[in-house]
Structures are given as C-alpha cells and as structure tokens.
Amino acid sequence: MFDYSARPELLKDRVILVTGAGRGIGAAAAKTYAAHGATVLLLGKTEANLTQVYDEIEAAGHPQPAVIPFNLETALPHQYDELAAMIETEFGHLDGLLHNASIIGPRTPIEQLSGENFMRVMQVNVNAMFMLTSTLLPLLKLSQDASVVFTSSSVGRKGRAYWGAYGVSKFATEGLMQTLADEVDGVAPVRSNSINPGGTRTSMRAQAYPGENPLNNPTPEEIMPVYLYLMGPDSTGINGQAFNAQ
C-alpha cells in the first residue's frame, strides 16, 4: 500500500471536484477529501447516490459539499461550459479534479467487440474526461496549487487480452495525463498525475472478476493515502507521474 499519512487539515479551504462520486472509489475519495477540510463537488449521473454521499459528509460535520448531477455519456459541449461557469460563480476557482468515473464495457475479444460498445466506453472514459479537463483548466489555473488526478489501470500500462475498449481507454488516460503534465510544467500552478487503484472491493471489480472473493481486495477507504497525497500540497512539484495505490 502507498505509504503516506495525511495531516487532518491537509485540504483545508480547497475546492475539489470528484467524478463518479456516488459510489465506490469516488465516494470514498469524496468523503476522505471532505474529512481533510475540502469543499467537495460531487459529480455523477445518479442523484440519489450523490445525495447519500452528501448526507454522510454533512452528518460528519465536514465542509458542505455540492451535488452536481451530470451524465458523462450524454453531456454536450455547452453543458461542460455551463458546469465551468457555475463552479466559477459559486466557488471562484478549482484546486483539484479527480477523474474517477469510468465504465468497463464488455470484456471480449476485439474481433467480437461491437463498434457501439467500443465508442460508448471511449465516450465516458476518454472524451468526457478530455472535455472536463479542457473546460475546467482555466479554473484550475486560478488556484495557487492545483492538482488533476487521472484514474488509470494496470491494463492501461500494459495491454492485456479481452480488456479491449477499457484497456485502450486507460492507455488514452495515461496519454492525456502526460500531455497535460508537459503543457503545464513550469507554466501553470497545476500538476497532472495518474493512479492505478489496483484490485479494490468495488462493484466494477466484481463485474470484471465475478469469480473472485472480494474480501481478498482492500476497500476503497484503504487505498486513499495516494489520493490524499496527490491532492494536497505535499505533492507540489510532482508532475507527469504514474502512481500505484497498492
């Protein structure tokens, strides 16, 4: 496990947007960031899930989060612009962006993978991630110390059979992370890095490995040290790196 111990006020006064914040790793990250002082913007497609995370953060007495229902699969360019305008009006800037939302798609040989399924995975995992990054970058540049964290996978670092669309989307994720890192290097107070969570006890993992005993994997809460490290000031100057949570 990544070795890092965060001080309680690590993210005090920071505004951090988390995609896929309704469940799994996204929900854990949102609650962890809030517990360390951040105002968390909860973005996801299922409002009921986001509201539950909101209620848990409120009940714990952490800074009041914001719920942003947003469907990354169907969102049009003007909706990204409206999202950025809303964040600017309400919060003035953005200190962190965690790209966590992904879909896995069918795990099947490339020969049997339909174009429709391939494009759906790329739409959520790559196109939407690019749109959010490019649209929110001006708000991140207004921060004194901003961090963009991309969620990768071992299959986005070395290709593996039957991971088709998902694997390709994670290679693209690493590419976007590296490209952004090189562009902001020494130019803007923004850093760009990726995390491979590894096998974690989530519904997506269960979907990918139905025969696996989930208890053999850590919970999302247990892999949070690297998520805190990259979002806080202790990682200032770390840019263009690919991290493993485990």
Q: Distance between CA atoms of 96 and 146, rounded to whole angstroms? A: 5
Which entry of 33, 166, 227, 229 is annotated as an active-site residue?
A: 166
Give the alpha-carbon dihedral of 220, 207, 203, 79, to 10 degrees.
100
Q: Distance between CA atoms of 228 and 98, rounded to whole angstroms? A: 11
> Whose CA is closest to 148, among 133, 127, 162?
133
Q: Distance between CA atoms of 215 and 35, rounded to whole angstroms? A: 25
3-class secondary structure, 190 = strand
Burial class (CB in 10 A: 0-12, 13-18, 19+), 240: middle
3-class secondary structure, 177 = helix
The question of whether 166 is a catalytic residue gets the answer: yes
Residues recognised as catalytic: 166
